Amino acid sequence: MFARHDIVALGQRSRDMPQKCTLHGEPYLLFSTDKKLLLCIRCFRDMQGESRAHCVDLESAYVQGCERLEQAVLSVKALQTATREAIALLQAMVEEVRHSAAEEEDAIHALFGSMQDRLAERKALLLQAVQSQYEDKDKAFKEQLSHLATLLPTLQVHLVICSSFLSLANKAEFLDLGYELMERLQGIVTRPHRLRPAQSSKIASDHRAEFAHCLEPLLLLGPRRVAAAVGGASMLAGGSGPKVLTGPHCPSPTGKTSGSPVQKPTLHRSVGTEVLLAEGENTPFTQHCRHYEDSYRRLQVEMQNLKDQVQELHRDLTKHHSLIKVEIMGDVLRKSLQLDTRIASEHASLEGMRVIFQEIWEESYQRVAKEQEIYEAQLHDLLQLRQENAYLTTITRQITPYVLSIAKVKERLEPRTPLREVSWPRREGSVGASGPPGVGHLQKCGHSFRHLWMSSQRVYKTRRTTAGTAWP
């Protein structure tokens, strides 16, 4: 393509370049931006109208060409700079890859060495435990074997004596000595003999779990309790409180703490929180724990007051046969629902902080292991409080019809005192939602106070038996 071209200097070419049109001999006046050609006046006249629109004078064409060339040069320079930066970056990354590979190899060797050391230590402990179990079981089996080996000849001697006595003794000797021999044989049989092994021959060290446990700090394999939290949240959000506690294994609320379906806060959680706060570190989780402990204590105090009030009402109704105002029952239910709302709000707020704490927990897992345990215990404590509150609500709903029934009896005896009706907030499926029992029957009866009181007591006992209340 360039075989017929001569390479000359740019200045010489500028001097040698003809300034006139080779076809018409006229000087160049215009430049076609479409065809990229120099034009004289006659070339311009010979062009069609559409092509003439793309013709400009030489000075304007020169300025436009310089601008375009400058833009192209700038683009090339930018590409050159980007190329140099990419080369420097790739060279740095090559060096970083080399250092990273060396660091990773060192980390692998260090971790493997630590794992070997931990496994060797745990292996020695497990072998020592196995040897200890072996010595204990071997000693016990040998002692029992020695006892049985001594017993067997004794039994054989007595069997030979019995056989000789039966073959040699006459009737008189048999009757004289036979019963004594039988008592002796019976005494041997009735004596305690350890014929069965007292323990199994299996030696178990649970070595898999022990090895995994010793590797947890190195491999960050701690337990996650997300399932428990999700289960607690779903129970709080989905299931109503009374439905959870109407099962056959709900214990009696009149007992002590051991008889309650919800136990006191976990001791481990309380101790762990106190230790964490005693360290004096000002972290987001310690601040949250301080705020949580204050809120939880307030909720716990209100729950205890409500529990004492419900137990007192139940005791007055069942044992003292006292008249209870219906306004008191409505107040108890209102407090219970308000407390349930506060506990749910506190639980939702606590659940909303999980994402914030998860980011912090990923940075330092050893500390997070304790914080997660305390956090899940807090959720569990709130769930326990809400369950206990729902349990008290159920009991209050169960004894409310009998309070209304007794109030109707009082209204029957004192017609001038109007009965104030109270609308009770009810949940679906709650016990006692069908209205106060025996009201129509009590209104129709025109008997004495004693007859009305005994009728209300019989209705109370019948309802208590059929409803299967949890309070004794």
Task: Choose between 288 and 464: higher pLDDT.
Answer: 288
Report which residue type is found at 121. E
The answer as to whether 184 is a domain residue is yes
168 membership: H or E segment, kind and range? helix 58-168
Residue 261 — φ and ψ, nearest 5°? -70, -15
Looking at residue 239, its pLDDT comes to: 42
> Residue 44 above 80 pLDDT?
no
Contact 285, 371 (CB under 8 A): yes
Q: Are residues 172 and 305 in the same domain?
A: no
Of the candidates 353, 385, 400, which is a domain's last residue?
A: 400
- Here the tokens at position 347 are 């639980």
As a whole number of angstroms, the distance between CA 48 and CA 39 comes to 13
The answer as to whether 360 is a domain residue is yes
The answer as to whether 78 is a domain residue is yes
Of the candidates 362, 384, 400, which is a domain's last residue?
A: 400
As a whole number of angstroms, the distance between CA 418 and CA 70 comes to 103
Q: Are residues 328 and 392 in the same domain?
A: yes
**CA angle centred on 147, ends 144 and 201, rounded to 5°:** 15
Q: Are residues 273 and 171 in the same domain?
A: no
Q: What is the DSSP letter of 5?
A: -
Task: Choose between 112 and 358: higher pLDDT.
Answer: 112
Q: Are residues 183 and 306 in the same domain?
A: no
As a whole number of angstroms, the distance between CA 407 and CA 45 comes to 120
The answer as to whether 374 is a domain residue is yes
Q: With CA atoms as reference, report the closest residue to 422 among 340, 338, 324.
A: 324
The answer as to whether 111 is a domain residue is yes
Residue 9 pLDDT level (bands cut at 50, 70, 90):
low
How many C-beta atoms lie closer than 10 Å to residue 33's C-beta? Answer: 15
What pTM did the predictor assign?
0.35
Residue 366 pLDDT level (bands cut at 50, 70, 90):
low
Q: How far is CA 299 from the centre of its chain?
A: 23
Task: Choose between 191 and 445: higher pLDDT.
Answer: 191
Q: Are residues 294 and 182 in the same domain?
A: no
Given strand 55-57, what is the order of strands in its sheet? Answer: 37-39, 30-32, 55-57
Q: Are residues 339 and 395 in the same domain?
A: yes
Sign, Cα dihedral of 185, 189, 195, 198: negative
Residue 79 pLDDT level (bands cut at 50, 70, 90):
very high
Mean pLDDT of 286-299: 85
Looking at residue 417, its pLDDT comes to: 47
β-sheet bridge partners, residue 55: 32
Residue 30 — φ and ψ, nearest 5°? -130, 170
Q: Are residues 163 and 260 in the same domain?
A: no
Q: Are residues 345 and 229 in the same domain?
A: yes
Q: With CA atoms as reference, report the closest residue to 65 among 39, 31, 41.
A: 31
Reported as a single tens digit per residue, the pLDDT across 91-107 is 999 999 999 999 999 99
Residue 65 pLDDT level (bands cut at 50, 70, 90):
confident
Q: Collapsing DSSP states into helix, strand and coil, what is residue 305?
A: helix
> Residue 47 above 60 pLDDT?
yes
Average confidence score pLDDT of the chain:
74
Q: With CA atoms as reference, report the closest residue to 361 among 440, 285, 258.
A: 285
237 membership: H or E segment, kind and range? helix 226-237
| Percent residues over pLDDT 90 in the chain | 12
> Residue 438 above 60 pLDDT?
no
The answer as to whether 348 is a domain residue is yes
Q: Are residues 289 and 379 in the same domain?
A: yes
Q: Are residues 179 and 263 in the same domain?
A: no
Q: Measure the N-to-C terminal CA separation of the chain; round to a whole number of Å.
A: 112
The answer as to whether 280 is a domain residue is yes
Tell me the residue range of the domain where 106 lies. Answer: 63-190
Looking at residue 416, its pLDDT comes to: 54
How many C-beta atoms lie closer than 10 Å to residue 95's C-beta? Answer: 10
Q: What is the DSSP letter of 30?
A: E
Residue 200 pLDDT level (bands cut at 50, 70, 90):
confident
Reported as a single tens digit per residue, the pLDDT across 113-149 is 999 998 999 899 889 988 988 998 899 889 888 888 8
Reported as a single tens digit per residue, the pLDDT across 397-433 is 888 888 888 888 878 777 554 444 444 444 444 444 4
Looking at residue 87, its pLDDT comes to: 94
Residue 17 pLDDT level (bands cut at 50, 70, 90):
low
Domain count, the chain: 2
Q: Are residues 242 and 147 in the same domain?
A: no
Contact 411, 419 (CB under 8 A): yes
Of the candidates 146, 175, 190, which is a domain's last residue?
A: 190
The answer as to whether 439 is a domain residue is no
Q: Collapsing DSSP states into helix, strand and coil, what is residue 296?
A: helix
Q: Are residues 249 and 323 in the same domain?
A: yes
